[in-house]
Structure 1
């Protein structure tokens, strides 16, 4: 029986329910990452004994599953509007925004699909936007491709944010610190393509980079959806 199907135990002097437990766990993760989350720490935040939590959640993985599903409620748009591109674009941007608010989400995206009600609603909205535009296999590959891009881009962005905090160097400061080494390596002539990218490439912020890559992925999906059957 999954954590969503398991009934909750009766209320006791300190009232508990899964929603309060998950909210406390998310607050801990927002403050200190997933390593700051344990059933003992969640119980302490709720002023309850750790063993009481086992009546609601059996393992830390179940707690993580519930946390991910709670954040999916932030990803699901209130009203579905626009064509399929707009629906998928909104989902992608809302996923990125949720990960910016809850950086730990980047560590739990990907892998096996989340089966909580909010995550299933996000998946339903995504599939419904593409329903009837192509055969089911093409639709499924399109969704997988979009999810892979969004997950990868988010993980890179969050990794950069964490690196800035860990080193105490902003992106500009890091570039200045390592600039002499890179310049010396490029001066050897061994990396001409990289040298051109460094000297002539236009630098953009994370949001612009994400939006541009997303549009390219949606263009590729559109080409597959409109391709006549072979």
Structure 2
């Protein structure tokens, strides 16, 4: 039997084009037609490589998850998990569409599984059950995604005006007191992430001992 014509493009090229579109114009710009145009293919021919847009997004997430080199695991679970979250934050800032697509998605690509494997290895010295470690890693990723979303969408100048107006109204005395007390300026991401890591892990340990 004669062989069919070989594919003109590869799935890798299609995913690369989709990531470029999302980075440049946002995830809403990633349509099958737009990606087909970017690779120079017909819109219908794109379905040869991916069955639908949702599957394409799954592949995009897994693709960018493989970009950074995971930090070295030192055996200090707190420092190792923090380094992992800092890496996640950098990745999400590089791909602003990423935080918004993580929730409820099929995160089963090899790069994502590699990230999970790295996180479990980092948490191993904490002495927690496997399901607890996996739950914690999910919570940590959700925190990073929420934090980055706030960074990318908030306008500090407008927020300051709104809070200032609320404080001067006299309706929020504890908010006014907190702002007057201050405390050396806003905390940076590593400090906040470290608090969360330590608090959640220690609480999980406490419940494990109690249970």
Range into which the TM-score falls when normalised by the shorter chain: 0.7 to 0.9
Q: Could you give the per-residue CA deviations for residues 103-162 of structure 1, whole angstroms, max 9, x where no partner exists?
A: 0002112224511110011011111222361223432343233233222212222222xx
Ranges in structure 1 where 5+ consecutive residues have no aligned partner: 1-8, 165-170
Give 1:225 deviation, angstroms: 5.7
RMSD: 2.5
Q: Give 3-state SS (helix, strand or coil) of 1:128's partner.
A: helix
Give 1:79 deviation, angstroms: 4.3
Match of 2:113 among 110, 113, 120: 120
TM-score normalised to the size of structure 1?
0.77
Aligned counterparts of 2:73 and 2:67: Cα–Cα separation in 1 = 14
Go from structure 1 to structure 2 and tell me whether the alpha carbon gap of 1:67 and 1:184 turns closer, same or farther (over 3 Å shift): closer
Matched positions, count: 204
Match of 1:145 among 139, 142, 147: 139
Structure showing greater relative contact order (alpha-carbon pairs closer than 8 Å, 6 or more residues apart) = 2
Give 1:56 deviation, angstroms: 0.7
* Consecutive aligned runs of 4 or more in structure 1 exceeding 4 Å deviation: none
Ranges in structure 2 where 5+ consecutive residues have no aligned partner: none
Q: Give 3-state SS (helix, strand or coil) of 2:118's partner.
A: helix
Contact 2:100 2:145 in 1 (8 A): no
**Equivalent residue, structure 1, for 2:169:** 188
Contact 1:25 1:42 in 2 (8 A): yes
Aligned counterparts of 2:90 and 2:188: Cα–Cα separation in 1 = 14
Give 1:67 deviation, angstroms: 0.6
Aligned counterparts of 2:5 and 2:185: Cα–Cα separation in 1 = 57
| Residue 209 (structure 1) aligned with residue 202 (structure 2) | no
Contact 1:99 1:154 in 2 (8 A): yes
